[in-house]
Amino acid sequence: MHKKITLKNGLRIITVPQKSTQAVTVLVLVGTGSKYEQRDISGISHFLEHMFFKGTKKRPNKLEIAETLDKVGGIYNAFTGEDYTGYFAKVEASKFELALDWVSDIFLNSLLPEKEAEREKGVITEEINMIYDNPMAHVGILWSKLLYGDQPAGWDIAGTKETVAKMTQQKLADYMKSQYVASNTVICVAGKIENSHAINKIREYFSGIKSAAFNPKAAVIERQTQPECLLHFKETDQTHLCFGVRGYNLFHPKKYVQDVLGVILGGMMSSRLFMEVRDNLGLAYYIRTEADANPDTGYLVTQAGVDNKNTEKAVSVILREYKRISEKKVPANELKKAKDYITGKMALLLESSDALASFYGSEELLQKEILTPEQMYAKINKVSANDVLLVAKDIFQPGKLNLALIGPFREKASFLKILK
């Protein structure tokens, strides 16, 4: 059973003991990401995450930061999203305190050296180049831009080459000071641990965390009355597309129905779109549908890569399946398969300590409430065929349809004609 305590300064600590492992994961999540940024510092959350690996007083350079856990075969990394930034270390259980020392050190004591910040501009610029050179990844950025436009929810998490070039040590330090505070932080330790020992050690190593208020994010503006399309012209052999709808956020009572709907449409190899678009028509190698629910935004999107000449046909077929599922109830066996797929896959994914830490930590950070996997399974299993039909009717409306694509196309009129 997990345990959660909140310290007087607002720092939340979650421990998840796991008997069936020899590993332990220390994860620190801070509630800030690209949605918390302003235009002139777009990408700063991600840039700061990179800088935490450049040196502390105790480990003054990059080599010492990396070697600490390399010497014990540890796995460590960091990540940035729209609503969070995370730092973790996974080690063999006897090295728990080393992992805790390392994570707390980079989180609380990073020096953000100016020379390293200048050097890192080149690294992040190449990361941006890499993503934009890969249409399969780039189309996801295009999708957010189409939905939300010029506001934080529509910006690339990495920022732009221009904002990255203008990043300074002072901006990084100010942003860290404003966001990296106790009340905005969750520490989750999962694996071969004993609750009280782990909590005492976390208190000890994170005693230096600052207590202060943090800057909230701007409200997301959603405006749409008709189908929208965003094309990015590129000479490619294959068109990559994201085609979907605005949906429900993390706090919407129907978010679990949206999850089931996404799986039925394109979440598994026997799903409707995979069978139709790939297996029956041979239009795509990859096609998948995802339902995404964030604290203030949500959508359901199908992504695929198709031959340029088959792009309009693929969009039409996907739209046909969207219409079909919003007009006729899903058969009982198909509904059961989707629900069993979600619960079964989740059980498999949560076997490792890092997945457990991420699950419990993000639940607390994003929802301020922890539902156990079993409680989630219960909510998923309650979804009925009628629920799926009503949600499909609600979200698959022309006024919510969006198509983003990368390929050799300049005119969107023919695509908009299909959507209407």
Would you please indicate which residues are annotated as catalytic (active-site) residues?
A: 49
The sign of the torsion formed by the CA atoms of 51, 53, 59, 60 equals negative
Residue 401 host element (H or E): strand 401-407
CA–CA distance, 380 with 60 (Å, rounded to integer): 48
On whether the CB atoms of residues 45 and 34 are closer than 8 A, the answer is: yes
Residue 196 has a CB neighbour count (10 Å cut-off) of 10
CA–CA distance, 249 with 294 (Å, rounded to integer): 5
Backbone angles phi, psi at 377, to 5 degrees: -55, -40
**Percent helix, strand, coil in the chain (nearest 5)?**
50, 20, 30
CA–CA distance, 143 with 341 (Å, rounded to integer): 27
CA-closest candidate to residue 254, choices 123, 389, 109, 133: 389
- Give how far the C-alpha of residue 270 lies from the chain's centroid of Cα atoms, to the nearest Å: 25
Write out the two tokens for 276: 């139709």
